Structure 1
Amino acid sequence: MERDVKKLHPCFGSLPNTGRIHLPVCQRCNIQCNFCDRKINDYEKRPGVTASILEPGEAIAILEEALKICPEITVAGIAGPGDTLASDHAVETFKLIKNTHPHLLRCMSTNGLLLNERAQELIDVGIDSLTVTVNAVAPEILEKIVSGIVYHGTYIRGTKAAELLIFNQLEGIKKMAAAGTAIKVNTVLINEINKEHIKEVARTVKAAGASMYNIIPLIPQYKFRHLKEPGCGDIDGARREAGEYIDVFRHCQRCRADAVGIPGVLDVAGQLYKGKIKIRETFSHG
């Protein structure tokens, strides 16, 4: 049965004081974005950062503790720190959540490279809401943002990589939307590259089935550390243009991959994880 995501999910305009937990079970990533600098630490407040990597079973134990500390949690999400479809850890974790805590919304974020071919797995496990990061729908723009992809063990660069990523993102969104999944698209706003392209991204993902759009200002780091972070005027302008085609989310907190609590109100991740999880491995691509 389709659930009321807008009522229960903080990132879809839910009622006040609804919480979420991000379970950091995904280590590997299969694309390399020029702005991405994934880290393991307990102090940076941004996506791609976590204090630990969990196994699916550990994630359920953490979830149960989190619900005791913050009973307002309505969403169990997985947002990395790697990509959720680059391994089986996210799907395995959601299967456990479905069995142990079926009342919670199941939410997932992905870069979408494998979304087209793995959509049915997500439908079967009952993903309620899905966020796909789509930074461009024109290959000549996307190839400036993504250095390359690892697709079934093959490293691909340039226009071919961008074309493949865009195709799989859009086809995957269509499949998930057709199954009744609420779809939000994230776009990292990079003034020097995709600022004038935002309207086209919004139009295209809406046509594919997305219902919500979130524009995230670039955090200058990694290969894009020399670029400037977009200002409030840039973000407002991009939101106005996107809003001609799709509902725009305006309260993004740029959450960590291990965020827990009520966004902008209560953060209990430190209390939950302190001294309990040890780092096992470093990040990898593939």
Structure 2
Amino acid sequence: MMIKNIIKTHPCFSEEAHHKFGRIHLPVAPACNIQCRYCIRKYDCANESRPGITSKVLTPEEALERVRALVERNERLSVVGIAGPGDPLANDTTFETLRAINREFPELILCVSTNGLYLSDRLEDLVRSGVRSLTITINAVMPETAEKIYSWVSYRGRKYTGRDAAECLLCNQWRGLRNAIDAGLIVKVNSVLIPGINDEEIPLIAWLAGVRGADLMNVIPLIPQAEFRNLQRPTHDEISTMRNICRNYMPQMTHCRQCRADACGILGEDKDMELEMLNARIGEEYCEMVN
């Protein structure tokens, strides 16, 4: 599939597409290799809509069944993404799931969202699994800024903290970004705007990612929680102003919903997939009973 066609039907990369096409996030990746100071991962939270949470963690087999159900019901599914609840590249189940879906549904766009720590290490595995689009969350350029955002980093069996963690993560993120673009992937950069911490570096992230060839940037507001629970969430005007600044360097996404790790449907109209699957099973059991 050509790049233009992928973007045209990808609801996260195209504002027009998000009204027409659905996506599903498959929560098959519970483990994470970094600790962001703004992140709380919950696997059983049914009433919140934010990244890092899901009603349950799925096995690859369960994930494939969910995709089959949506395809069979013609839910206008165009994208299958893996975005957590941990980091997809820290979980082998990610690649098992991607390969299975790509074998059965090669027409679907496979997408992964990552912090980029393992991106260069596992890029070849991503490409072999059929992934064509990628989101990398990059929140800093300078190590002293990253040190304020991340508590620790676990890389190749070693746990880093402080400045060492910041330098390890930043080095891997920017190298991974360049390698992914060189490999022909469509790349979106997510940056969490954290007032008073990284607001001055967001435009620099946009410039560096833009000159390297990234396709889109998504500036998203901090959700105050965990160690950053006492910080202020950026206002709509602050986000809009930052996007306007960054637009000088690369295109900006403006329709993000900060989706859950088990999001399903058209952006802004997510379905409760647990209820959907339960209703499907009840329907199947009823048909078997009456027949």
Q: What is the TM-score normalised by the length of structure 2?
A: 0.91
Aligned to 2:165: 161
Shift of 1:5: 1.8
Whether the 8 Å contact between 1:28 and 1:86 is mirrored in structure 2 is: yes
Aligned to 1:281: none
Question: CA–CA distance in 1 between the matches of 2:147 and 2:213?
Answer: 24
For the pair 1:23 / 2:33, whether they are aligned, the reply is no
Shift of 1:265: 3.3
Aligned to 2:129: 125
Question: CA–CA distance in 2 between the matches of 1:169 and 1:275?
Answer: 42
Secondary structure of 1:9's counterpart equals coil
Query: In structure 1, which of residues 235, 246, 255 is the aligned counterpart of residue 259 of structure 2?
Result: 255
Aligned to 2:271: 267
Amino acid at match of 2:241: G
For the pair 1:152 / 2:153, whether they are aligned, the reply is no
Cα distance, 1:152–1:266 mapped onto 2, change above 3 Å = closer
Question: CA–CA distance in 2 between the matches of 1:269 and 1:76?
Answer: 14
- Runs of 5+ consecutive residues of structure 1 not aligned to the other structure: 277-286
Aligned to 1:282: none
Amino acid at match of 1:22: H
Question: CA–CA distance in 2 between the matches of 1:134 and 1:241?
Answer: 17
Question: CA–CA distance in 2 between the matches of 1:132 and 1:22?
Answer: 16
Shift of 1:138: 1.0
Report which stretch shifted further, 119-128 or 80-89.
119-128
Of all paired residues, the percent bearing the same amino acid is 43
Aligned to 1:283: none
Shift of 1:49: 0.5
Q: What is the TM-score normalised by the length of structure 1?
A: 0.92
Question: CA–CA distance in 2 between the matches of 1:114 and 1:273?
Answer: 33
Shift of 1:273: 4.8
Give the length in aligned residue pairs: 277
Aligned to 2:200: 196
Aligned to 1:37: 40
Cα distance, 1:102–1:241 mapped onto 2, change above 3 Å = same
Report which stretch shifted further, 13-22 or 220-229.
13-22
Secondary structure of 1:29's counterpart equals coil
Shift of 1:272: 2.7
CA RMSD of aligned residues (A): 1.7
Instruction: Give the structure, 1 or 2, with the largest relative contact order (CA under 8 Å, sep 6 or more).
Output: 1
Query: In structure 2, which of residues 171, 175, 180 is the aligned counterpart of residue 176 of structure 1?
Result: 180
- Runs of 5+ consecutive residues of structure 2 not aligned to the other structure: 281-291
Question: CA–CA distance in 2 between the matches of 1:197 and 1:275?
Answer: 47
Amino acid at match of 1:20: R
Aligned to 2:97: 93
For the pair 1:81 / 2:85, whether they are aligned, the reply is yes
Shift of 1:42: 1.2
Whether the 8 Å contact between 1:66 and 1:260 is mirrored in structure 2 is: no
